[in-house]
Amino acid sequence: MAKVEILKTGTFSNIVEQSQGLTLVDFYADWCGPCKMVAPVLDALKEDYEGQINIVKVNADNEPEILNRFGVRGIPTLMMFRDGQPVDVTVGAQPAKALRSMIDKHIAAEVNV
């Protein structure tokens, strides 16, 4: 199963903000129970949506400047980016069905752009 890449401050800009298309960013922490519940769901989604969307993670404890820049106040926060700009956000552990719905909505919007 594909593992979701963990970004650092130095790579966030290139992989998320300067990218074209869709990127789902999971703001998480290692000690966060709900974050641990979401992690395997994201790994499965990364595999299922390969080539359609990029899914990455940012460790809240290690990269507070990224969280501050995007106003992240709680974890897990899942933020959808389109062409480097945030376009959607959900806070808290979400079931796979809800995350698929969020992703599918933005993939459909990409096709219609």
Q: Which residues are annotated as catalytic?
A: 32, 35
With beta carbons less than 8 A apart as the criterion, state whether 72 and 60 touch: yes
User: 78 has which bridge partners?
Assistant: 26, 90
With beta carbons less than 8 A apart as the criterion, state whether 82 and 107 touch: no
